[in-house]
Structures are given as C-alpha cells and as structure tokens.
Structure 1
Amino acid sequence: MQLKIRALEIAQAKRVKQDDEAQQYLHIEHAESVCVHSDEDCDDQANQDEEVPKIPSSSTKRKGKKRIGIEEKLKGLPVIRETVRIPREVEASPDQWEEIGEVVTEEVLVIPTKLGRHLIRSKKYRNKEDRTSAPIIAKAPIRFSSSYVSSSLAIYIVLSKYLDHSTLYRLEKKFERMGLEMTRQSQSDAVQRMSEWLRPLYEFMDKRAKSSGYLQIDETFIRYINGNKPGVGQGYFWAIHAPGQSIVLKWINNRRHENVETLVDDFSGILQSDGYAAYGNYAEQHPDITLAACWAHTFRRFRDALEHEPAHAKSMMKLISKLYKLEEKWDLGDVSPSKRKLLRQTESIPIAKEIKNKLDGYAVDMTIPKNDFRVALNYTANQWPELLECLKHGHTRLDTNLLESKFRPTKIGAKNWMFIGHPDAGQKSAVIYSLLQTCTIHNINPYDYLTDVLAKLIPHDGRPPETILEQLLPQNWSN
C-alpha cells in the first residue's frame, strides 16, 4: 500500500523549473519578529503570548458595582403591609411575659398594574332670572388628547416600548388582560401625541446642546417600511451628544453627507466623530469647526488585526490602553479639566508620540501585506491630527463610546419591533429616545420626569416659554 501511495505521489508531482543562476535568490517572508525602527519592537515576538490589552467599552469612567445590604436596597420602597407575629404562649398568658425586642424580616410585594377611569364632570348652569340666556359650563381643561388616552396611560405605553422594548402587539394583549381594548393603532397615536407635546422641549434641548462648544456625533441604521416600495428601506438615527448634558437624536432616511449640516447647523467648537468622511468634509468647509477623532475606533482596528499580526497589533493596543489608564486615574481623582489639560501634555502626549513613531516605522516596512493590520495603520495615520486633538484639551473625551452606548436601546428595541412603520414615523421615536436617554445620563426616573414635564407643558397648549423649558431640561430638573 505504501508503495502504491508513493507511486501516485510521484505521478502527480510537477516538474520544478530550474533556478536561473543569473538571478539572485531572494526570499523575504514577513514574520512577527520584523523590526523596523527600534530595539523595543524586537521584543514583539516574545510578547505574543501576553494578554490582549483592553480599554473601557462605554466610558473612561469605570466604577465597580458596590455590594449593598438588604435594608439599604429596600429602603426606598414604601411599607404597604405590616404583620406583627406574637408567640402563642404570650397570646395565651400576656401578663406573664415582657417584650424585650423584635426580629424584623422584609420581603418585596408586587401590586399588579391596574387601569381605572378618571371622571371629569363639567357642570352646566342656567340663569334663574334670565331664562333666555344661554347655559354656561365650566371651561374644559387642556388635556393630553381629545380621546380617552391620559398622559399617564401614554407614559406607560412609551416606557414599555422604548425602555422595556415591548411591542405594541404585546401591549395590546396586556391591556386586554387588564380589561381595556386598546388597538395598536390607538397606542401608536398616543406615542405620536407624546412626541408632539415633548417637541418644544426636544428642540430647546437641541439648541442648548449646540451651544456647548463640544459635541460628539454618530449615526446608526434602522430599517423602515416605505409604502411606495416593496420590502424595507434603511434609515438612520443621527445623534449629537453634549457630554454630561444631553443626547439629541434625529431621524433621516438616508446617510448623505449633506445631513451633517442639518445636525450641527449653528454649532461652532470641537466636533468628535469616527472616521466617516461626511464629518471631515463638513469640518473642512467650516473653519469654526475643529474635528476630533475616536481612540476607541482606532483600538478596535488593531484588535481586528490580531489574527494577522498578533505581536504588532498588541504592541499598538498596549500603548493606546496606557492612555485610557491615565484617564481612569484622573477620573478617580476627580481632576478638573484645566489640570487634566496639563497632565495630558506631560503624560499622554509622550505616549502619543511613541505611537506616531511606530506608525512612521511601519509605513516604510513594505513587507507588511495588505491585511487588517495594514488597514489599521492606514486608518490611524489618516486620523492622526484628529486623534491628537483629543489630547490638546481638558474637557474632551478619548472616544465616542458614551454616545454609542446611548444607541444600544434603539438596536435592542429593533430586535422586537423590527422596523420603523413609516418613513415619517421615525422622528417621533427620535424625540422620545432623546428625552429618555438624557434621563439616563442624569440618573433620573423617566416616569417621574415625564409625569412632571407633561403636567407643566400641557397647560401651555404646546407653546411654553423658554423659562419653563430651561427648568424642564433633564440637567436642570429636580423632582
């Protein structure tokens, strides 16, 4: 059998062409031990087995989850039932016993959601003396809607859909169990009405964000149904984020470059983004815009290159992670923006220069093939002025991860409701997402917030003064 296999190998073997002695034999194979500009890189091969460097996934501020006791955990809940247990011996002969203390045990009770009616009785009167005069009736109050939908019912629907990611179909079934027949269309109308009441506050929040002088910008796709064409189209939630203040989403059914003008019109200052060319083109045409890039996107590029060039990719990732470790230390120390600016000049900029030296060295290494590592190098080199811009200030962040984290609810929700039902329906979701996600920035209970906001907006019939809107901004609101 071995002889037959060997015979088959010889029969299938190709004749090797004789090397031309006139040509110099040259064999170059790019290996992980290639060194192009410093002795430090020669240690890359030895570092291949090191743990892959990491950076924070959503923020430069990482806080460990603190364990709290049961009493601390439940102290915010009201006591709705109290049971006193007395031993049988004491009940039988109470005069023989003296109370010396108690053991308290707590458990959490659930009161199921209930629906009820609010009766608004507007009394009618007529003049006893002048029977010819018309009857009078108490002036009707301005209500959330002209139908049976109250603001509390609308808030329940909105929070179920946009925070709990439930579908209107499931809510329809839930309302049936609670004794109310409310169709999906009626629920959708309530969501639309909610966005109309919140729109003045949403537009004012957008205006305030643009006056901050520092914005992050990004976009994410969401499918939508286009009634004029079969199937679904691809629209986008575009967002601007004023760190520490607010996030404002806008719905646009395309990704054209000119949309940036709509998003940041009247803004001047630092605009931080990923490498999408639309933002760079806009900054070039507007001298009052300074473009900053995202170090997290750069880090991910090198992480994607680990399969092709593990040692070199880890080397770059390690340097970037050093920048994040410095930021984490300063965050824990509650360093002011002015002091952070100085610290970045003395500690972060030298690390950035080391990264740039590596970039320049890799640029002349023609043995690196066109793989993901080369793509990461080109991306970083093209974004370098914008990446360096992040380190020139004290109030800027290294990345746009905080903004991206606020997009997650839109993606989780889309897994349930799948798509926007109509091209014109996306903006109402953008308005509501903007307010709810800004509430998460400021650790505000969205139910309490929307209840108070609607109570103050509705009496103005959609035309509240700016003084009221200023007070109702999530960053200024207090319950």
Structure 2
Amino acid sequence: MNLAAELAHSNLSPAVRAAILAQAEWVQAHTDLAVKTVAQAALIQAKSLLIEKLEFELAYLRRMQFGAKTEAMSAEQRSLFDEEFEVSAAALEAQLAAARPDGDSTPVRQPRMRAGRQALPAHLPRTLVVHEPESCTCGACGNDLLKVSEDVSEQLHVQPAVFSVIRHIRPQYACRRCQTMTAAPVAPSIIDGGLPSNATVAWVMVSKYVDHLPLYRIRQIAERSGVNLAESTLGNWVGTTGWWLQMLADRLVERLRQEPTLHADETPIKQLDPGNGKTKTAYLWAYRSTPLSNCAPMIVFDYQISRAGQHARDFLQDWQGQLMVDDYGGYKALFKAGVTELACWAHARRKFVDLHKANQSPVALEAMRRIAELYAIEAQAKEETVAERHALRQQVAKPKLTELKAWLTETLPKVAPNGAIAKAILYSQRAAAIQTLLGTAKLNGLDPQAWLTDTLEKLPTWPNSRIDELLPLLALAEK
C-alpha cells in the first residue's frame, strides 16, 4: 500500500495529509535528481575516458603514418599502409564524433590542405535523376512556381557483376519448292559449344590475371548472383583460352626481340608442388621494352622452374642489343656473347644505402650523395624528348659520372678488398602467356577486359597473316 492510501485511512486532517504528501513528493523528486546526477556524472566520466583513449589512439596512428613516410617503402607497401591508415583513422574519428557531447565543435581531425575533389570521369554513362519539390505552388502565397535554375551534383555509382542469359534463336527456313532448309550458322566460339559468352570468359581471365582473384573467389562472386560455376569449369575456361592466346603471346615475343633495348628481371614465386603437399620456388622472368622506345610498350613474362641464367639466354636467343639488368650473375654469359650491359643505378645505390644503415660509413654516404646528383638530372630530364634527354646527359650527367668513376677508383684501394664497401663499389608457361598479353594491354592504356572480349570474338576465324592486328598495342588499336 502506498503512502497516499495509508494517509487516506488515517485519522489525520486533510491539511496534514496534504502537507505530508507534498513533503514526500519533494523528497522523492530530489532523490531521483540526485540519482540521475550521479548517473550522468558517471556517464560523462566514462565518455571522457573513452574520448581520451580514442584521441590517444588517433594521435598514435598519425605518428605511425608520419614515421612510415620516413621509411623506405615500395609503392605497393605504401599504398597498403595508407589504405589501412585511412580505414582505421576514419573508424576512430567516427567513434570520437559519437562520443563527444552534443554541441561540442572540437575538430576531430586537424585541418589539412586538400586538392579540390577530382571530377568524375566524363566517359562514364550518366543516369539522370530529377528531384522535384513536393509541390509546384508557393508555400507563402499559393502562386505557381517558375523554374529559374537548378543545382547539379554527381555521385559515383557502381553496379556489381550482373549476370544475364543470351538466348540465341536461329529460325529454320524451308523452301516450299525443293524443301531445302536454311538457317544462320552457329558463330564460332573459344569455348566451342560451351556455356559462357566471350565476355564472360574475358571477365574470368581479367579477374584471375589482372585482379589476382583465385578461382574459388570468382566462383563466390557468381554464387552471390545465384549462378553456380564449379572451379573445375572455370579452370577449363582458363586453360582453353590460354591455349588460344598462346599464338598471340608468341608473336609478341618476336616483336619484343626486335627492340634494340630491353629491361629484364626475375621474380621468385611460390607454387604448390603436386603430390608433395608443399610449395616450391619457381621464377617469373620479365622482359619489357624501354619507356624511351618509339614503339608501343611491351612486356613478356617467361615462367621457369629456376633462376639459372640459361633461361635468359634461351629466351633472348640470338638477340644482340642493350640489356638493363641488376647485378645478378646469371646475365653475365649474355654480355660475354655480345649483348651490351646497362647497369641499374637503383641496385648500385641500394648496396651503399645498406652499408650506411649498418655502420654509418662515410664512404657509402659520399657515394649516395654523388648518385643523388645523377638522380636529380634524370628527374629534370623526365619530361624531355629523347634527343633533349640525350643532350642533357652528355652535357651534365657525363662529367659527374667521370668524377664518380675517378672517386671510386681512388677509394677502392683504401678499403678491404673483400669487404662490403668493395663489393658495393664493384657492384607456369601458360599463365605467363596470359599475363604477357594482359600486362601489355595495361601498359598501352587499353582496358584488358574490353581488348580480350574483342579478341576472343575474332580469334577463331582470324587469319594468321594478320595476327599482329590482334596484339594489345595502342598503335594497332587506334588504326
């Protein structure tokens, strides 16, 4: 029984009962207020601690970002770090915004100078969505409204892979007189009589060899649209298409060997060793034309099971030209056979950088300073024509190279003959075919999937005498 009911059954006068009830209500109200105040104080303290923690984490993250910028990172490593930083920072900032009290305008992120937002590419199709007001009459006086201008904004929209079915219908016609049947012929296809269109095959190839998605992930993408594609089926498409594309890759190799100057490098790759349950190391040898060539850029990947220099000799055959490589000894036999060696300054500099980091070598530091002068000249010549670049190198870089050689010659006898400073101074085939073509398409600024779809349409009936016209070279694509 509550207090009001108890008082109603008491012998107290109405005035006394009213006074007691008023006093009880006052006590209850102030008790509730005290409890609420304590709870709010605890909540504010908890939020303050959370904000302090989030601000500390965000500051620590920014220090990491600044520190990472001072470290030597490849472009890929830098991109991955920046991506992770932006995601983590955005999440922390969202938590901070939610944790701050209403009306707190404290900036979450220190203001940074940003370039204006880049316009969305003009070549993308536009879907117009017109947003009309709910009423075309004036809310103030009731008159009809007159359109005087419009505000336009754009958003980038993406539609995930959309699967559809192309139903081919070939009507059968009969001659009433002689009963001869006539119908349109079945168009030849890379996957003869198979399930996929050429565009579907191109999507699988680009997903695997350009976007580096394994087949099981491609299968999962299709499953999200209700399409079941077995990995064995996808593998069959890839293998068959690779066989068709091999002739194009072979022709691209022939074209590459006609270039007077090439770059070469070899990269280890891990692959499963069938039947062994382990991985083994193979090598993907890359050969590409120089960016200064007058021809369209080309790159060829050659899969080999080892790093033996014989693989480079087998690939280049009797080619005689200028070869830009690192200091790997596997190329030495080529140079003895008449190929001109072009040494790589990046690899030479790396050895001095390692020495300087290890023991603060003054000799290594001086070498790095001299090489930096050559880098500055190359940066200046980057936008010049080939002739202008040659003139700049002869007039400015060559004297510095002469000075560097003299300094190295003078310094070498002063260091240990077998030491690190002396050394610094002396300083699968099918997949490769597919990567060769798609990589060359990317070098030429072509859309790999558009090029491959078009090529797969033409390849089954294309004459061998015109095979060059199918190569993913920009100069050919523009004809």
The two structures have a TM-score, normalised by structure 1, of 0.69
Output aligned runs, 1:153-302, within 5 Å.
153-227=200-274, 229=276, 231-244=278-291, 245-285=297-337, 287=338, 289-302=339-352
The Cα of 1:347 is off from its aligned counterpart by 1.2
Q: Any idea what SS the aligned residue of 1:85 has?
A: coil
For the pair shown, the structure with the greater C-alpha radius of gyration is: 2
Counterpart mapping for 1:14-163 below 5 A: 67=115, 69-70=117-118, 72-86=119-133, 88=135, 90=137, 96-130=144-178, 137-146=183-192, 147-163=194-210
Q: Would the alpha carbon gap of residues 55 and 74 (structure 1) be closer, same or farther in structure 2, given more than 3 Å must change?
A: closer
> For the residues of structure 1 that align with 2:71 and 2:397, how far apart are their CA atoms?
17
The 1:175/1:429 distance shift into structure 2, 3 A limit, reads same
Residue 457 of structure 2 is matched in structure 1 by: 455
Output the CA distance in 1 between the equivalents of 2:73 and 2:261: 23
Within 2, Cα distance between the matches of 1:362 and 1:110?
A: 60
Please give the secondary structure, in 1, of the residue aligned with 2:382: helix
Give the AA of the match of 2:249: Y
The 1:459/1:118 distance shift into structure 2, 3 A limit, reads farther
Judged with a 3 Å threshold, the aligned counterparts in structure 2 of structure 1 residues 56 and 183 are, in CA distance, closer, same or farther, namely closer
User: 1:88 Cα deviation (Å)?
Assistant: 3.2
Deviation per CA, 1:214-237, whole angstroms, max 9, x where unpaired? 111111111233336552222111
How many angstroms apart in 1 are the aligned matches of 2:202 and 2:391? 46
1:349 and 2:418 aligned: no
Task: Tell me the alpha carbon deviations over residues 307-349 of structure 1, each in whole angstroms, 9 at most, x when there is no partner.
Answer: 22343222111111211111111123x2x32332232222112
Q: In structure 1, what residue type is equivalent to 2:411?
A: Y
Is 309-318 or 204-213 further displaced after alignment? 309-318
Question: 2 CA distance for matches of 1:317 and 1:55?
Answer: 18
Q: Deviations over 1:243-288 (max 9, x none)?
A: 2311011111122222122211242211111112221212212x3x
Q: Secondary structure at the match of 2:137?
A: helix
Measured against aligned partners, the alpha-carbon deviations of 1:380-413 in whole angstroms (never above 9, x if no partner) come to xxxxxxxxxxxxxxxxxxxxxxxxxxxxxxxxxx
- The residue aligned with 2:54 is none
2:444–2:473 Cα contact (<8 Å) kept: no
Partner of 2:477: 477
- Return the structure number with greater helix share: 2
**Aligned partners of 2:75, 2:366: CA distance in 1, in Å?**
19
Match of 1:14 in 2: none
- Distance apart, 1:125 and its partner CA: 4.6
Q: Deviations over 1:79-130 (max 9, x none)?
A: 1241232363637788543322111122222323211111222344555444
Q: Once the 2 structures are TM-superposed, how far is the Cα of residue 207 of structure 1 from its aligned partner?
A: 1.3
The amino acid of 2:300's aligned partner reads: V
**Identity level (%):** 23
Instruction: Tell me how far apart the structure 2 counterparts of residues 443 and 130 of structure 1 sit (CA, whole Å).
Output: 55
The answer on whether the counterparts of 1:53 and 1:317 sit within 8 Å (CA) in structure 2 is: no
SS at match of 2:285: strand
**Count of equivalent residues:** 366
Aligned with 1:476: secondary structure?
A: helix
Tell me, yes or no, if structure 1 residue 365 matches structure 2 residue 414: yes
Structure 1 unaligned blocks of 5 or more: 1-51, 59-65, 380-425
Tell me the TM-score normalized by structure 2. 0.69
| Contact in 2 for aligned 1:55/1:321 (Cα 8 Å) | no
Contact 2:242 2:433 in 1 (8 A): yes
Q: SS in structure 2 opposite 1:216?
A: strand
Contact 2:120 2:156 in 1 (8 A): no
Distance 1:129 1:475, change over 3 A: closer
Matches within 5 A, 1:277-426: 277-285=329-337, 287=338, 289-306=339-356, 307-332=358-383, 334=384, 336-366=385-415, 368=416, 372-379=420-427, 426=428
1:53 and 1:227 map into 2 onto residues whose CA distance is 39
d(CA) in 2 for partners of 1:463, 1:238: 27
Shift of 1:434: 1.5
Q: 1:399 aligns to what?
A: none
Separation of aligned partners in 2, 1:464 and 1:189:
28
Q: Distance in 1 between matches of 2:134 and 2:165?
A: 44
Q: Quote the residue 1:22 is aligned against.
A: none
Once the two structures are superposed, residues 23-76 of structure 1 have per-residue CA deviations (whole angstroms, 9 ceiling, x without a partner) of: xxxxxxxxxxxxxxxxxxxxxxxxxxxxx9999979xxxxxxx95545x22433
Q: Which stretch shifts more, 87-96 or 450-459?
A: 87-96
Corresponding position of 1:428: 430
SS at match of 2:265: strand
User: 2: distance between equivalents of 1:361 and 1:152?
Assistant: 63
